[in-house]
Amino acid sequence: MIQTTDIFDAAMGLDPIERRRLAYELLESLDAAPDEDAERLWNEELARRREKIERGEAVFHPLEELQRRVMKALGGG
């Protein structure tokens, strides 16, 4: 059975252009296959949020406040 360490070691033996191409293709292969569970869960979350808005229970915040909160969480403010 092939181990990931064997694949990594073989890939490190490639020239930099080939390693870059391999890395790109591996990443693309992850993006190409949608995660059906993630899509279903995201659609369920969107439905819950829509219902909350329609019931008048949603709380909205100004963009500037959200930006401040993000900057603070990232240690920049």
Q: The whole model's pTM is what?
A: 0.43
**Structure token digits, residue 29:** 């292969």
Higher pLDDT, 14 or 76: 14
Q: Per residue in 36-59, pLDDT tens?
A: 788 889 999 999 999 999 999 999
Say whether pLDDT at 19 is over 80.
yes
Say whether pLDDT at 18 is over 70.
yes
Which pLDDT does position 2 carry in this prediction? 86
SS3 13: coil
